[in-house]
Every structure is written in C-alpha cells, then in structure tokens.
Amino acid sequence: MKFGFRMVLLAASLLMFSGCNFGYIVKENFDKTSRSYATMLRWQEFDAGVAYVDAPLRDNYRKRVEAARGIRVLDSRILSKDCDTGAKKAEVVMELDYNISPSTTVRTVTDLQKWRYFDEGEKKGWRLESLLPEFK
C-alpha cells in the first residue's frame, strides 16, 4: 500500500512539474519571438514581419508594409509585456519614434501587439494577431 501511494505521489509531482515546465518554455519562446519582432521593427525590416503574422491577416499586414515605405524608425521602447501561458495569449505595447522621408519631424506611434500561441500543426509557436501600426 505504501509503495502504491508513493508511486501516485511521484506521478502527480512529475505531472505538476512538467506542466510548470511547459509554461516556462512557452514564456521563454514568447520572450525570444517578441524580442526578434521588436528588433525587426526597430530596423525597418517590415517585410520580414509577415513571417510572424497569422495567415488570415497576412494580406492586410502586407498593405501596411507598403504604406510604411519611406518610414525611418529612430528609436523604440517596450512599454509593457504580458504573457498568459494558460490562455496562450500575450500582449506587447511598444512605442516607435520615426520620421517620414524627407521630413525631419519626429513622430511617435504606439504599437499594440496581440500574440497567440499555437501548439499544433504547421503554425506551431507564437503568431501575431495584430497588424503593423499605421505610421501617419
């Protein structure tokens, strides 16, 4: 009887720790993905952003990329980052300082990024569910 109880306790502990490990891995993956996307925005590599976008938004994202031609990002700041591994959702609020060539006027846009984690199929990983901000 004692051996059976210990085995059940051990199995429950392993399940609990593997669940915690999953959440940690998903969060670490989000941190890496969101940093990579932020770097891409900082260096005006807007075309590369299509790789992060969930399929239904890709055409609209590409339209925003076309509208962003001539944008020069001068600085960027992450204002907040929230990752809910249980709900498989995350949000990043980022500010981008930019100008539109040939103007030297510095403008700021706030980019609210909405992310969702997919753990099945070909789109496994974090996918962006929001568009590139409008630079006006």
- Mean pLDDT along residues 76-94: 96
CB atoms within 10 A of CB 131: 19
The answer, yes or no, to whether residue 108 has pLDDT greater than 80, is: yes
Domain contains 69: yes
Q: Per the structure, how many domains does the chain have? A: 1
Domain contains 66: yes
pLDDT over 70 for what percent of the chain? Answer: 84
Cβ-contact 46, 70 below 8 angstroms: no
Q: pLDDT tier at 124 (50, 70, 90 boundaries)?
A: confident
Q: pLDDT tier at 10 (50, 70, 90 boundaries)?
A: very low
Burial class from Cβ neighbours inside 10 Å (0-12, 13-18, 19+) for residue 128 reads buried
Domain contains 135: no
CB atoms within 10 A of CB 76: 16
Domain contains 133: no
Neighbouring-strand partners of residue 114: 91
| CATH number for the domain harbouring residue 102 | 3.10.450
Cα 38 to Cα 7, 24, 59, distances in angstroms: 46, 21, 20
Domain contains 136: no
Q: pLDDT tier at 3 (50, 70, 90 boundaries)?
A: low
Domain membership of residue 39 as a residue range = 2-128
Domain contains 24: yes
